[in-house]
Structure 1
Amino acid sequence: MGQQLEAVILDWAGTVVDFGSFAPTQIFVDAFKTAYDFELTLAEARRPMGLGKWQHIEALGRDPEVGARWQAQFGRTMSHEDVDALYHRFVPLQVERVGQHGELIPGALATLQTLRARGLKIGSTTGYPRAVMHRLMEVAAAQGYVPDCTVCADDLPAGARPGPWMALDNVQQLAIGAVAHCVKVDDTLPGLHEGRNAGMWTVGLALSGSPCGWTLDEYLAAGELERDAVRQRVAAEFAPARPHYVVDTVAALPAVLEDIEARLAAGDRP
């Protein structure tokens, strides 16, 4: 069977690094507290995960529970200026701490080596702004992960997820011949929408990312019944994006790529 796939485009936190995607979520909690003395829970902070961080804060302001508490505390809805103030508090906190959560997810490096051995290009997109990614890319590179392309949430004038623009910028930078020969891998609903909207194959990660919310130790300690319950819950959350595949972690990606190659050879397209 001749290879048709050209590239895999990976998300960062919760996909390749930072099992459970704790770096961004905890910083949202801290930014709301330090900037406005507003209490935000970790579960609430996770709800818009996958969006660009400015849009993430904006979405939290529109969240029915968070928005109601904001209205009660300040007597008004969250304004554009509030979002700006929270974002400018978030970014330096995230730059400061992102390296603390930069460890590669188990199995990621072996998967990346498999992709390279197959001759695939490796792209990436992220909801992080470029200022944060400078630091995270250094941490990842020290562990052996250097993608061919990284597009950040604030790089493009068109915006970030759930639109297709970051994924399609990877296509352009990597000189990909057809979007149907690309696979977008993500642990969030907006990231899966990004891949779908770009016309790519999409793979959702059920257990390593933000929707699951487990630490690595919690994942390792969980029994199969507990894991299966979370798989079903996360798959239901992913359903609006209609991912082509949902697997536990990026370690399962090589087998998925084999199946996609077979489908492409049979004439299937995303």
Structure 2
Amino acid sequence: MNTTTHTEEQAVSKASTTATGDLSPLQAVIFDWAGTLVDFGSLAPTQIFVEAFASFGVSITLAQARGPMGLSKWDHIYQLLQDESIAAQWQTRFGHSPGNEDVDAIYARFMPMQIAKVGEFSAPIDGAVQTLQWLRDQGLKIGSCSGYPREVLNQLLPQAAAAGVQPDYVVAGDELEAGGRPGPYMALSNVLALAVSDVRACVKVDDTVPGIAEGLNAGMWTVGLSLSGNEVGYSLQEFANAPEDEVNARVASAEAKLKKAGAHYVVRSVIDLPDVLQSIAAEMRAGRKPV
């Protein structure tokens, strides 16, 4: 059984030990939501994808549902329908290969299900509240973006704010005409909204490969989160009960995937972010850039 937990006391300690650190010339940190700030394990969207497909008589696994995580939800459904086994089920059931109209149909079924359920997964990940406060104390701006549509975020944000998670800016996956991840557009929307003068003074924090690509494409530093996010996929209860060697193996796999995607740093969760930000700031002062 795994006995390592991230408690609120650890979070306060982590933040307090780095409170005197120099973060110049960093200006902003831009966070993902599920699996990064809230919803340990990024559980809210995963199960709903399974249920939405099941309502059409098509069976997908949790692992398949996690595959395209980080994309906007319409694009996520589109990518799932490109999977050979899922497309074959669709062909058998409906007599044709899945097309955009089918994506629209699943999306229309998915949305009310996700809206109804997302609030159940709004709890902050341990350390998130303290880390956001620490960033504000250091004078950094706090942005955020999500693959969730605005209708879903409208349900999530008030509950997250009540629990202490309230970035300065939020953009949803369906709000920009240019599109979502892996493009840089949501990250750059944060740059504009927060009046950041240099994209290289921003850090994108995310638990998914498309989210890391988003930050890289925007010219930012990137930090991947392994344990708390989609790539490991534990619920808190599963994490508490998992053997340590199993946890370490899953984390190692997630770290390798996020590093392969180009993440400059990978840590287990948001509680570990302050030390990494100090390292990035030191690199910047030494003249290095997030190339």
- TM-score, scaled relative to structure 1: 0.96
Measure how far apart 1:90 and its partner are.
0.9
**Cα separation, 1, equivalents of 2:265 and 2:172:** 24
Contact 1:11 1:124 in 2 (8 A): yes
Counterpart of 1:56? Answer: 76
Counterpart of 2:41? Answer: 20
Contact 2:59 2:86 in 1 (8 A): no
**Cα separation, 1, equivalents of 2:148 and 2:38:** 13
Contact 1:14 1:20 in 2 (8 A): yes
1:174 aligns with 2:194: yes
1:149 aligns with 2:164: no
Cα-Cα RMSD: 1.3
**Aligned AA for 2:32?**
D
Q: Which runs of 5+ in 2 are unaligned?
A: 1-21
1:120-148 CA-to-partner distances (Å, cap 9, x unmatched) read 11000100000000110011011011111
**Aligned AA for 1:30?**
E
1:252 aligns with 2:277: no
**Aligned AA for 1:237?**
K
Structure 1 residues 119-134: aligned runs within 5 Å: 119-134=139-154
> Which region of structure 1 is more displaced relative to structure 2, 234-243 or 99-108?
234-243
Structure 1 residues 15-94: aligned runs within 5 Å: 15-34=36-55, 36-94=56-114
Measure how far apart 1:171 and its partner are.
0.2
**Cα separation, 1, equivalents of 2:174 and 2:115:** 15
Q: 1:138 aligns with which of 147, 158, 172?
A: 158
Contact 1:52 1:129 in 2 (8 A): yes
Measure how far apart 1:223 and its partner are.
4.7
Counterpart of 1:162? Answer: 182
Q: 1:219 aligns with which of 221, 239, 243?
A: 239
Measure how far apart 1:224 and its partner are.
4.2
**Aligned AA for 1:157?**
E
Measure how far apart 1:50 and its partner are.
0.3
SS of 1:123's partner is strand
Contact 1:161 1:191 in 2 (8 A): yes
Measure how far apart 1:239 and its partner are.
3.6
Counterpart of 2:255? Answer: 235
**Cα separation, 1, equivalents of 2:133 and 2:258:** 27
Contact 1:196 1:241 in 2 (8 A): no
Measure how far apart 1:254 and its partner are.
0.3
**Number of residue equivalences:** 269
Contact 2:23 2:138 in 1 (8 A): no
Contact 1:207 1:219 in 2 (8 A): no
- TM-score, scaled relative to structure 2: 0.89
Measure how far apart 1:92 and its partner are.
1.0
Measure how far apart 1:2 and its partner are.
6.7
**Cα separation, 2, equivalents of 1:41 and 1:231:** 20
Counterpart of 2:15? Answer: none
**Aligned AA for 2:28?**
A
Measure how far apart 1:244 and its partner are.
0.2
Moved over 4 A (4+): none
Flag the 1:95–1:256 CA change in 2: closer, same or farther, 3 A: same
Counterpart of 1:105? Answer: 125
Contact 1:21 1:210 in 2 (8 A): yes
